[in-house]
Structure 1
Amino acid sequence: MERHRQPHQNTNQQQQNPSLLLLPPPPQPADHASLSVAYGPALKAAITKLKNEDHHSERGSVLFVAITSAILTAPGPNQKSLSWPAAQSVLARIYSIVALICAQLSVPSEMHAGPDSIDVRVIFIHYDPSRPIRQAPRPAIDVNNTIIIDLHTFASAYHPWHEIFHVNSEPGYRLFTSYMKIYEQVQTLRQDQLVVVESGLSLSENPSPPAQTKLCPIVCLGGTFDHLHAGHKLLLTAAALLLKVPDSPETTPARFIIGITGDELLKRKKYAEFVQPWDLRVTNVVEFLASLLQLSKQGWVEPDVTKNDGKVIARFRDGTIEIHCVMLQDAFGPTTAEEEMDALVVSGETRSGGDAVNARRRELGWHELEIFEVDVLDAGDSTGSSATKTDFATKISSTAIRERKAGARE
């Protein structure tokens, strides 16, 4: 058994820090067209700026896109909840817009795709602009029973940044000012690290209160996660949003069980020689999830990881969250090997797999899993042809990335 924990900055001191784009609350209704108009200019400006910079890390740049919104409600004392259908829908549309922008700019957007790549990671921050930001004597990290954190905790736990982008609108400046009041207690920034980007047009409506989603102690999903791209990031983030996080490390941790296809099952894939090995795919999944789950006053630190017999366990937030990465040797994986789990997250493309899992669990005399379906990435216009959407999805697939790498070698 191996156990690893070390500060991120020490692993590769010269590695470029990630950048941050702060975005004010999304427009209502939060459909693709409204989000594209509201956020598209800022996203394109930030990605273009990073693309045109002279110095890049060998692994590429990382851009955190923080969508601030009053996403959490309080159904009871010390409890928070969110509308999962609404949250995952916004995530899918933002990642679709990002994928389109990166395609237009010829920027690879999967993880660690080389010096010219920009790895965009979308996160939600709980922020209600109508309420004053709480003032603490010093930076504090507060958590609740979800993976969503508030602006104060975000500013206290995510640092340092390469650049901070903020939009030139009234909501954008209000958000930036609130964030900087907290952030300046933990980090000092040069003026050239603060970049104003164009604001889009915000379309507002008074939305009806969303239905709240019952969170789950144990969530499961499966995939290859080869060349971790926008579709994988969406799936992992949407699934993590379902986790019900316990209040104390003394209790049973929330578990996120991820089946990752073994190398043997991928030997017949197109361009199989460019499939990343299982260990690397696991490392990338854990690193990406650390973007959502790891909180530390020291800023960027590596998660606490244990490796043992084809399973990797990463622990976050004082052990209240565990990520279990297991090797998939068949279509069912842990869903028919472990009875104790609550939810299975699928995409529209793998819906039938969820039905097959529950059929097998019924045969075993086990309870069925609640199925949560994540939207697929698409080109956005609901009036567009299905062929257009299929073409878009195909271009950002792992197969397309391997094909591109094969072409670059020729």
Structure 2
Amino acid sequence: SPAAVLVVAVAAPILARAPGPRSKAVRWARAQALLADLYSIVASVCAERAIPSHLGGDEPGTVDARVVLVDRDARAGVSLSHPGEANCTPVLGLAAFAATVHPWRTVFHASGEPGYELLAAFLALAEGRQKLLQSQIVVVEGGLSLSNPAPALDASQARGRRGAETGGRDEAVEGYGTVCLGGTFDHLHPGHKLLLHAAVLLLRVPDADALESGGEPCVLIVGISGDELLVKKRYAEELQPWDARARSVVAFLATALNSPTTAVPVITSASNDAAAGASSNATELHAAFCNGAVLVRCVDIRDAFGPTTAEQSIDAIVVSGETRAGGRAINERREARGWRALAIYEIDVLDANGGDDSDDDAADGEATEGATAAVAAAAAAAAADRFAAKISSTEIRRQKAEARSRRR
């Protein structure tokens, strides 16, 4: 049976005012940090309870959790904006989310006053869109308390993570016309979802008037490693073929880009020699979202650079700590060709402690003052490595290979 899809809609003040009567900007650094914390919790719970959580998983009990961000400042009261009001970002307000993203089989909400207040606002805005029975609304006791302390970063780290143009400050980003990222995206897991959604948040989405006037859609280029690049991967026999990986990416992006829950993305094929930077034609899968305002291009890449050194029009790239050096190498090649450098944005890593960096020894009063920093740093790094290994595509393939071996 298909995996259960759990959409975790988080209402928070994600957007800021931007120049223009209908434009807003995304507080990107805060938004991606929130996504990282939430996906860390998802990954921790699933790893602890042995719940498969990759998209498209066919194991019994698989839960495909997808986080979406909804712009809402509870202090401002109920939004009176029109559900179709454009804000030039991929983040919807609560009114637009309630009007656009449905139907739902079950709606869970946290207990307590904030949870009930948010539920009431959502139901009022969704009225007439979907009739929800009382049996479809489930209260979750206790709710969730999330603390997101800002870690100390040196200047270079801050600039890398929050974008070249922000200088390390937590400024709102108005978005770009073309954003890219790359990876294997094998057995799409929470780390992949964070990377993809962080890239989506950098898009500047044109409104209907701009498109009707002949404007172009914004473009998200997802470079997906070709099958021939992965033959030396561990448990390679369990690798998903390129087409399956690309379609999983599109399925997740449909949620991140606020498609109705029952919508099936229309995927088309294309070939683009320049996109791969290779001698043979590159396979591409295309899908359009947001009424044609967003074009997703999944590109079959055959080297470490993909379309970034073949297409001058790309504006920004999203990287992880593991691919930071690759982002710098891409810009060196672009600058050597006389092209502008890409704005580089780096996502946070998923944290086994859900954002809590305190170590057990310090909590118990056992660590000495002189050794605390070094011990904590080493312990945190080791814990992060172990956690990353637990949720990696390699680990998913290992589990699948062992399960297949047991069935023989």
**TM-score normalised by length of structure 1:** 0.81
Q: Structure 1 pair 276/235, CA: closer, same or farther in 2 (3 Å)? A: same
Q: Which runs of 4+ in 1 moved over 6 A?
A: none
Q: Following superposition of structure 1 onto structure 2, how do residues 8-157 of structure 1 map, counting pairs within 5 Å?
A: 58-76=1-19, 77-114=21-58, 115-134=60-79, 140-157=83-100
What's 1:33 paired with? none
1:390 aligns with 2:385: yes
CA offset at residue 204 of structure 1?
8.9
Q: 1:279 aligns with which of 223, 243, 256?
A: 243
Q: Distance in 1 between matches of 2:314 and 2:79?
A: 37
CA offset at residue 258 of structure 1?
0.8
**Could you tell me the percent identity over the aligned residues?**
46
What's 1:258 paired with? 222
Q: 1:301 aligns with which of 263, 267, 285?
A: 263
What's 2:364 paired with? none
Contact 1:110–1:228, Cα closer than 8 Å, also in 2: yes
Letter aligned with residue 275 of structure 1: L
What's 2:304 paired with? 331
Residues 162-191 of structure 1 show CA distances to partners (whole Å, capped at 9, x for unaligned) of 211001111111000000112231111222
1:349 aligns with 2:322: yes
What's 1:36 paired with? none
Contact 2:309–2:330, Cα closer than 8 Å, also in 1: yes
Q: Distance in 2 between matches of 1:204 and 1:272?
A: 39
Q: Distance in 2 between matches of 1:131 and 1:388?
A: 40
Q: Distance in 2 between matches of 1:368 and 1:347?
A: 18
Q: Distance in 1 between matches of 2:182 and 2:143?
A: 36
Q: Distance in 2 between matches of 1:272 and 1:111?
A: 18
Q: Distance in 1 between matches of 2:41 and 2:258?
A: 26
Q: Distance in 2 between matches of 1:291 and 1:404?
A: 27
1:365 aligns with 2:338: yes
SS at 2:229 equivalent: helix
SS at 1:130 equivalent: helix
What's 1:239 paired with? 199
Q: Structure 1 pair 201/154, CA: closer, same or farther in 2 (3 Å)? A: closer
Q: Distance in 2 between matches of 1:395 and 1:120?
A: 17
CA offset at residue 200 of structure 1?
4.0
The aligned length equals 348
Letter aligned with residue 218 of structure 1: T
Q: 2:290 aligns with which of 309, 317, 320?
A: 317
CA offset at residue 203 of structure 1?
7.6
Q: Structure 1 pair 93/294, CA: closer, same or farther in 2 (3 Å)? A: closer
Q: Distance in 1 between matches of 2:173 and 2:85?
A: 22
CA offset at residue 130 of structure 1?
2.5
Letter aligned with residue 357 of structure 2: S
What's 1:183 paired with? 126
Residues 369-389 of structure 1 show CA distances to partners (whole Å, capped at 9, x for unaligned) of 111001111212324411111
CA offset at residue 142 of structure 1?
2.9
Q: 2:255 aligns with which of 284, 291, 294?
A: 291
Letter aligned with residue 134 of structure 2: Q
Please list every run of 5 or more consecutive structure 2 residues that lacks an aligned counterpart in the other structure: 151-168, 272-282, 360-378
CA offset at residue 193 of structure 1?
1.2
Letter aligned with residue 269 of structure 1: K
CA offset at residue 244 of structure 1?
0.7
CA offset at residue 367 of structure 1?
1.1
Letter aligned with residue 144 of structure 1: N
Contact 2:12–2:69, Cα closer than 8 Å, also in 1: yes
Contact 2:205–2:294, Cα closer than 8 Å, also in 1: yes
What's 2:141 paired with? 198
1:229 aligns with 2:189: yes
What's 2:109 paired with? 166
Q: 1:377 aligns with which of 347, 350, 372?
A: 350
Larger radius of gyration: 2
Q: Distance in 2 between matches of 1:203 and 1:312?
A: 37
CA offset at residue 300 of structure 1?
2.4
Q: Distance in 2 between matches of 1:181 and 1:120?
A: 25
Q: Distance in 2 between matches of 1:145 and 1:242?
A: 11
Contact 1:83–1:211, Cα closer than 8 Å, also in 2: yes
Letter aligned with residue 184 of structure 1: E
What's 1:400 paired with? 395
Q: Structure 1 pair 336/383, CA: closer, same or farther in 2 (3 Å)? A: same
